Each structure stands twice: as structure tokens, then as C-alpha cells.
Amino acid sequence: MKSFTYNALPARVIFGSDTLPQIAQEIKNLGCTKALVLTTPQQIPEGELVLKLIGPELGAGIYSEATMHTPTDITEKAVARAQELKADCVISVGGGSTTGLGKAIALRTGLKQIAVPTTYAGSEASATPIIGETSGSVKKTQKTMKVLPNVIVYDVKLSLTLPPRMTLTSGVNAVAHAVEALYSTDSNPIIDGLALQGITAIARALPQIMHSPPDSESLFSARSDALFGAWACGTCLGAVGMSLHHKICHTLGGTFNLPHADTHTVILPHAMAYNAPYAKETMKQIVSALKDAGLAAESAPGAVWDLVKSLDGPMSLRELGMREEDLDKAADIASGNPYPNPAPLERDKLKKLLQDAWNGIRPE
């Protein structure tokens, strides 16, 4: 057993079905009295449901302008709204856009947070002290305990109507956290175990979700597996450092405004292939986890690519709207600042990675 250091994150997690009614008590447990509910414009109904459950005595109102990549101008408007309503906590209902906004508000105000995820992995996984914000065309991330949610409430029922494409891309987004945790410079056996559980749970669940009849018991079971996998993978993201894959995705999202989860889905197998020669043991572990999920897997990068293709997911940066002439700029940014990664960061090789991802070529 190798030596390691592990810092556990002090977050309260509530997982199950029909857990939403517990939020009112969780607000009181935090010593709070007025909660501002955060959503995107598309998820106002879910926010209104939460507001109804906590009642007028605990609900301050809704701010529904959360958006992708957590732009700082949106955050400033949300902070002003929270102060106007005298809110003493926020409830983030949704995916990464909403969770990121809740974290950004907490960073500036110190307000306590309750996160209610409705996807499997957003811009900032709920169970992490990591926040990424975009100002202008630059997205920057930081790690600080100021943004770690105090409570995370997972309710499987909220994920039952998640659209198929978002189901797939947010699930692969979650898998990316686990993959990079396994070859992180500060990896440890506790997080390695969670990472492999998360990969297996999501890889097993995604095909079942796509192929199960609506309202079936098998669909509910698969949704439960996927949501557990999302938590496991998100915990990995918060506990150890990330590498090349996340750097590229933040570059493509912040600078070129590509959709976050879709970008993760396209880039992951290519980033894995780039690192594979320098992370052979990790790739063997991933292959084993994918086989445990019932997938045919010989090469870890190829198996992830095959899974996405078999479920009609996005396969290229080109289809996400990336211009081929911008690949050089993306390679420059991704190689511009050193960061830990198994394989050496070489600008020409990074350009090839991006070119392959733009073309949608299957990695070996």
C-alpha cells in the first residue's frame, strides 16, 4: 500500500427518493430562516416546487437566471437579489449552471448553501469545494472551502424526466471526474474506490436509462444508480486535483462558449488516449470497471468513445460549433500554463488531440 493523504470534505448528503420535503428541516438545521431558490429559466417549475415545500415562512423567492459557465455579471445580479430579499441561504435546484451560481454567491457573501442536483454532473459538481467562473472570455477555477455546499439533497425522482442527451452527457461528465482522479498526483485508495464505483454505476446505468420503458422499475433503478455514480464521481473531483481533460474543457467552454457537458463527452476519450501511455495501470482499472458494468472493453479510451456513439451522443467538436481555425488558439491556451498531468504537455500533441476531437476520430 502506497503512502497517501486524504482530506474528507464536511458535507451532509441526503440520498433517496422523495427527499425534497426534508429541505425545510435542513434550512432550520443550518440556523437559517430565509432561502433564495436558484434555477435556470428552464427549471423554474422545479424551483417553484421547492419554494412551495419550504413554505412562505422559509422561502424568500426565486432567482431564475442561472446560466452556463457562471458569468460574473449574472452572479452580481443574484447577489443583489439575495441582499434585497434578506436571504440567509440559497437553494440551488438544477445542474452545473445553478450549482455554480450558488457557489459564486457563497464565495461573495458567505451565505450557506443547499444543493439539489437534477443532472449527473454539472459545471461544478455539487459535492466539491471547486468553482469555475467566467469573466469576459476567460474561465478560471479555484478551490476553496467557502463554496462547499453545506447540504446536498439527491432525490431520484427529480432525474426521471432528464432528457436523453443531457442524461448521457452529464453522466460522461461525471465519469471524467473519476477518470482524472485515478491518475491524479494526489490520488489515494479511498477516492480510487469511489472513482471505480462511480464509473461502473454510470456506465451500467446509461444504456439501461436509454432503453428502459418510461415509468418502469428498471428505469427507476438505473436512474438511482446514475445518481449515486454522480455523487461518487463528484466527490472525487472535490478531493483530488484534476488534469488535462478538465483544463481543455474549461478552455473550450470559457473561451469558445461550447456547452459544458457535451464538451466533456467529446473530449474525454481523447484526453484518456493522450495520457494512456503514462497511466497504464489506471487504464486497466477503468477497463475492469467498464467490464463490471457489462460493457465490452479492451481499450479504456475506445470503450468510452464506443459507449457514447452507441447511445447517439455528441462525437465531435465540429458538431458542437467549434471552428477548426480556433483549434490552434485552444492548443495555445491549454499548453500555456503548467499543471499536473501524467503525460508531458506538448503543444503539437495537444493540437492533434483537439484535431482528432474536432473530426470525431475514434481513439485507440
* 216-231 tens-digit pLDDT: 899 999 999 999 999 9
- 113 and 170 belong to one structural domain: no
215 and 252 assigned to the same domain: yes
Which pLDDT value is given to residue 125? Answer: 59
Same domain? For 78 and 216 the reply is no
Q: What is the pLDDT of residue 341?
A: 96
Domain end call among 116, 135, 159? 159
The total number of structural domains in the chain stands at 2
Residue of 272, 193, 197, 179 whose CA lies nearest to 1: 193
Q: DSSP strand E in 219-313: where?
A: none
Answer whether residue 47 shows pLDDT above 90.
yes
Span 182-198, mean pLDDT?
Answer: 95
**138, 159, 180 - which closes a domain:** 159
Q: Are residues 151 and 176 in the same domain?
A: no
Task: Name the range with the highest mean pLDDT among 6-20, 72-86, 138-152.
Answer: 72-86
Structural domain harbouring 242: 164-359
- 124, pLDDT greater than 60: no
d(Cα 35, Cα 294) in Å, to the nearest integer? Answer: 43
- Co-location of 152 and 176 in the same domain: no
The pLDDT assigned to 136 comes to 76
pLDDT at 122: 52
Work out the average pLDDT over 291-308. Answer: 97
Q: Please, which residues bridge with residue 94 across strands?
A: 117
Q: Are residues 19 and 83 in the same domain?
A: yes
3 is a domain residue: no
Looking at the fold, whether 140 and 171 belong to one and the same domain comes out as: no
306, pLDDT greater than 70: yes
Residue 7 inside a domain? The answer is no
* Mean pLDDT across the chain: 93
**What Rg do the C-alpha atoms of the chain give, in angstroms?**
19
Identify whether 5 is part of a domain: no
Contacts of 42 (CB under 8 A, 6+ apart): none
Which CATH number goes with the domain that contains 312?
1.20.1090.10
Q: Domain holding 132: CATH number?
A: 3.40.50.1970
For residue 129, tell me if it sits in a domain. yes
262 and 341 together in one domain: yes
Per the CB < 8 A criterion, the answer to whether 18 and 42 are in contact is no
Look at residue 123 in the predicted model and tell me its pLDDT. 47
- The predicted model gives 82-97 an average pLDDT of 95
If asked whether residues 176 and 79 sit together in one domain, one would say: no
Same domain, 184 and 296: yes
Residue 2 within any structural domain of the chain: no
Same domain, 174 and 280: yes
Rounded CA gap, 29 and 316, in Å? 46
Look up residue 354 and give its three cell numbers: 483537439
Q: What is the largest CA-CA distance in the chain?
A: 59
Mean pLDDT, residues 5-27: 90
